[in-house]
Amino acid sequence: MFVASALSWLLVRERFDRAAARVAPQASLASGLKRLTAIRELPALFSVTFLIQFALLSPMALIPIYVQHLHGTTENLAFWAGFVGSVTGFSNMISAPLLGKLSDRKGATRVLVYSLLGAGLLFIPQAFVANVGQLLVCRFLLGCFVGGLIPTVNALIRRHTPDDKVSMAFGFNSSAVALGNMAGPVIGGALSGYIGIEGLFLVSAAALLGTSVWARSALVNRSSAAASGP
């Protein structure tokens, strides 16, 4: 944290007019939220953020147990559990810049919808894998689509947010991230006693596939309607 703070202080430059900010009209948090939610795309994007985090984190706490079940022995168990947990982040790191470039060419909404669809579909085979190797492949491919989720949501939030409310919009979106991070493991852990981790993978798949439909309805259709309007 200290290194991150030092790098931000030394290397990040911001054009901020203190005098203009001091005399600008001050809005309360409630009025700011009301203004942001009046922009129809933003509540949809906040909801998409929550659902993404919920779906991705619901089975995460139980992944080591699932790896142990698939591995069948405690030998090198910590290595394989860590490998399975990290491989999604590795492929995410590779795919995120590529999908970001693609979203600049094809549109962030389209990349978001297809990334949600791909991520949802790749949760399904994780419920039926027979060994750790198959799980690794599924998790790696999952990360390739995860790289197109939060970056495109952030790009769309910036696109639809007024300049004087950007920080507040991202603050509310961070709250949606935190809520999804909290609800996913809690609800996933509660459900796992009834449906097992295999069932949690299917729940995550359903959540992401449903979110892709919701994102298409809330974002793509509205954009098309706005473009064809008078």
Q: pTM of the entire structure?
A: 0.85
Q: Note the pLDDT tens digit of each residue in 50-104.
A: 999 999 899 888 888 899 888 887 788 888 888 988 999 899 999 999 998 999 8
Identify the band that residue 41 occupies on the pLDDT scale cut at 50, 70 and 90. Answer: confident
Q: How far apart are CA 60 and CA 49, in angstroms?
A: 17
Q: What is the DSSP string of 126-152?
A: GGS--SHHHHHHHHHHHHHHHTTTHHH
The Cβ of residue 111 has, within 10 Å, a number of other Cβ atoms equal to 25
Rounded to the nearest angstrom, the gap between the alpha carbon of residue 155 and the centroid of all alpha carbons in its chain is 13
CB 204 within 8 A of CB 59: yes
Identify the band that residue 221 occupies on the pLDDT scale cut at 50, 70 and 90. Answer: low
* Helix, strand, coil % over all residues of the chain, rounded to 5: 85, 0, 15
Return the CATH fold of 44-223.
Answer: Growth Hormone; Chain: A; (1.20.1250)
Least confident of 8-17, 45-54, 121-130: 8-17
3-state secondary structure of 13: coil
Residue 124 has pLDDT above 90, yes or no: yes
Identify the band that residue 120 occupies on the pLDDT scale cut at 50, 70 and 90. Answer: very high
Output the CA angle 188-193-194, nearest 5 degrees.
95
Q: How far apart are CA 53 and CA 184, in angstroms?
A: 7
Residue 229 has pLDDT above 60, yes or no: no
Q: How far apart are CA 107 and CA 101, in angstroms?
A: 10
pLDDT value, residue 10:
75
Residue 206 has pLDDT above 60, yes or no: yes
Residue 119 has pLDDT above 90, yes or no: yes
Mean residue pLDDT of the chain comes to 85
Q: How far apart are CA 59 and CA 192, in angstroms?
A: 8
pLDDT value, residue 223:
52
pLDDT value, residue 201:
93
Q: Which of 119, 113, 160 minimizes the C-alpha distance to 141? A: 119
Q: How far apart are CA 63 and CA 204, in angstroms?
A: 13
CB 208 within 8 A of CB 116: yes
Q: Give the dihedral of Cα atoms 128, 129, 130, 136; nearest 10 deg.
A: -170
Residue 224 has pLDDT above 80, yes or no: no
Identify the band that residue 142 occupies on the pLDDT scale cut at 50, 70 and 90. Answer: very high
| Residues whose CB falls within 8 Å of the CB of residue 159, separated by 6 or more in sequence, listed in order | 108
Residue 139 has pLDDT above 80, yes or no: yes
Task: Please state the rounded mean pLDDT for residues 35-44.
Answer: 85
pLDDT value, residue 135:
94
Residue 225 has pLDDT above 50, yes or no: no
Q: Helix 166-215 and helix 108-123: axis angle, to 10°?
A: 60
Residue 181 has pLDDT above 70, yes or no: yes
